Structures are given as C-alpha cells and as structure tokens.
C-alpha cells in the first residue's frame, strides 16, 4: 500500500517546499479519493460540490503531510478533516437550507422492477436529510464500515453519542421507509 511508503516519502516531502514528488502525492490522493469524495457526496448529495470539498481536503493534506507520522495517521486525519469540513459547510450553507428528515416527504414508492437502485437512491436522500452529526456517523458506519468505537475516535465524539445517533437515525429511516408503499422493513 502506498501509504506504507509514506515514511520513506516523508523526509523528501519535509524538506524545502511542498512541491517535491507530485506523482507520489497524486498516488496518495488516488488511494484515498474514493473515501473522501464519497463521504462528501453522501453528505451533500451534490457531486460537483463534493469534488470541490474533496479537493480542498487534499490540498490541506498536502500542506499538513510533513507533520503526519504514519499511514494510519493520514487516514484518521483525512476522516476527521473531511467530517468536520462537511459539518462546517452545512452550518454555513445559506443558499440551500436543509430540512430535517422528520419534515422530509415520504420518498416516492418503489416500483417492483429495478427496486434496488431506486431504494439505494432513496436511502441516500434520507441519509443526506439527517441532522449533521448523525449524517456523518451514519456515513462512517455504512460507507466506511467503522464500528461505533472507531467512529467515536474518528470524530472525537463520546461513544454513547455515536450509538445514540445510529439508533435514532435507523429508527427514523425505518419509519420513513415503512410509510412508503412497497418497501417492507
């Protein structure tokens, strides 16, 4: 894995300006771009905006890289920065105020054929309508497959709060889906 070579790359990146070895950095971006972009995309439901924010995160990584100590540190740092950038973004977002999941209309009923892609889209919409912190917790749980303890560490959040977010969010999703005809929960 490239990040295991980061220790070797670090001395080179530390010295002088940060423009050393762009191809190595590009490889690092490719390794983590799906994670960062997907977190943003699931959070915002807007691909263009997600790419913009993902780019900003990697630019921040480019500046931060010399002080990161290990591949795990890079991964943890990326998750932490991405999560908080997304939360900060939605807090300051004024053009498109988000309505809470409770007020979201029930999704359109799923047709019998091709239910999976439609259900997936429905779930993504519902997750994106969750409150900010709950949304990030759900994305880390179901996109990154982190357990509650790892989510708590990634977000610097008490584990009880993580579990509460998960339980509440799942209950809300079940409630919304169960009111949609044709979706059996």
Partner 1 sequence: MRRNLLIALIAVGTAAQLPAQLQLRITGLDGLASKAKQSSNITLDSNLIQMAGGFLGASKDKDGNDIKGILAGLKAITVRSFQFDQPGQYKMEDLEPIRAQLRSPGWSKIISSQSKDEISEIYTRLEQGKIAGFAIISAQPKELAIIAIEGSIDLNDLSKLGGLGIPQNAIPKQDKKGKKE
Partner 2 sequence: MNLDEELRAALRREDPSPGFANRVVARAQAQPAGQPFGFRLFGVRMMWATAIAAMLVLGTSGVFEYRQMEAERASRDAVLALRIAADKLNLARDRVLRRTEN
Interface contacts to partner 1, rule CB under 8 A = 97-100, 102-103, 131-134, 158, 160-161, 163-164, 167-168, 171-172, 174, 185
Q: Is 124 in the site for partner 2 (CB under 8 A)?
A: yes
Sign of the torsion angle spanned by Cα atoms 30, 36, 41, 44: negative
Question: Using the rule CB under 8 A, which residue among 35, 49, 104, 159 binds partner 2?
Answer: 35
Pick one of partner 2, partner 1, none as the site partner of residue 120 (Cβ within 5 to 8 A by kind).
partner 2
Question: Using the rule CB under 8 A, which residue among 5, 69, 102, 174 binds partner 2?
Answer: 174
- Measured in degrees and rounded to the nearest 5, phi and psi for residue 37 equal -65, -45
- Beta carbon of residue 99, minimum distance to partner 2 (angstroms, whole number): 19
| Count of residues of this chain found to bind partner 2 when the rule CB under 8 A is applied | 56
Nearest to 2 by CA among 22, 36, 30, 35: 30
Q: Do the Cβ atoms of 10 and 2 come closer than 8 Å?
A: no
Radius of gyration of the chain measured on its C-alpha atoms: 19
Nearer to partner 1 by Cβ, of 9 and 166: the residue is 166
At residue 5, the 3 state secondary structure works out as helix
At residue 118, the 3 state secondary structure works out as helix
Pick one of partner 1, partner 2, none as the site partner of residue 35 (Cβ within 5 to 8 A by kind).
partner 2
- Beta carbon of residue 113, minimum distance to partner 1 (angstroms, whole number): 27
Q: Do the Cβ atoms of 67 and 172 come closer than 8 Å?
A: no
Q: Distance (Å, rounded) from C-alpha 29 to C-alpha 119? A: 31
Q: Is 143 in the site for partner 2 (CB under 8 A)?
A: yes
Give the number of other Cβ atoms within 10 Å of residue 106's Cβ: 15
Q: Is 41 in the site for partner 2 (CB under 8 A)?
A: yes
Q: Distance (Å, rounded) from C-alpha 84 to C-alpha 58? A: 14
What is the binding site for partner 2 (CB under 8 A)?
17-19, 22-23, 25-27, 29-30, 33-35, 37-38, 41-42, 47, 50-51, 54-55, 58-59, 62-64, 84, 87-88, 116, 119-121, 123-124, 127, 132-133, 138-139, 142-143, 145, 156-158, 161, 164, 170, 173-174, 177, 183-185
């Amino acid at each position: 894995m490239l990040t295991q070579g980061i220790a070797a790359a670090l001395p080179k990146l530390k010295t002088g300006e940060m423009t050393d070895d762009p191809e190595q950095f590009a490889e690092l971006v490719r390794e983590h771009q799906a994670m960062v972009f997907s977190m943003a995309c699931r959070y915002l439901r807007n691909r263009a905006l997600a790419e913009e924010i993902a780019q900003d995160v990697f630019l921040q990584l480019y500046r931060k890289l010399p002080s990161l100590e290990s591949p795990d540190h890079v991964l943890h740092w990326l998750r932490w920065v991405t999560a908080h950038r997304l939360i900060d973004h939605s807090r300051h977002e004024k053009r498109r105020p988000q309505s809470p999941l409770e007020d979201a209309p029930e999704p359109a009923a799923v047709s019998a054929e091709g239910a999976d892609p439609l259900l997936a889209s429905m779930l993504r919409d519902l997750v994106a309508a969750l409150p900010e912190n709950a949304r990030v917790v759900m994305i880390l749980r179901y996109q990154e497959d982190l357990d509650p303890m790892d989510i708590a560490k990634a977000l610097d959040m008490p584990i009880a709060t993580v579990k509460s977010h998960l339980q509440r969010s799942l209950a809300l999703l079940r409630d919304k889906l169960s009111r949609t005809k044709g979706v059996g929960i």
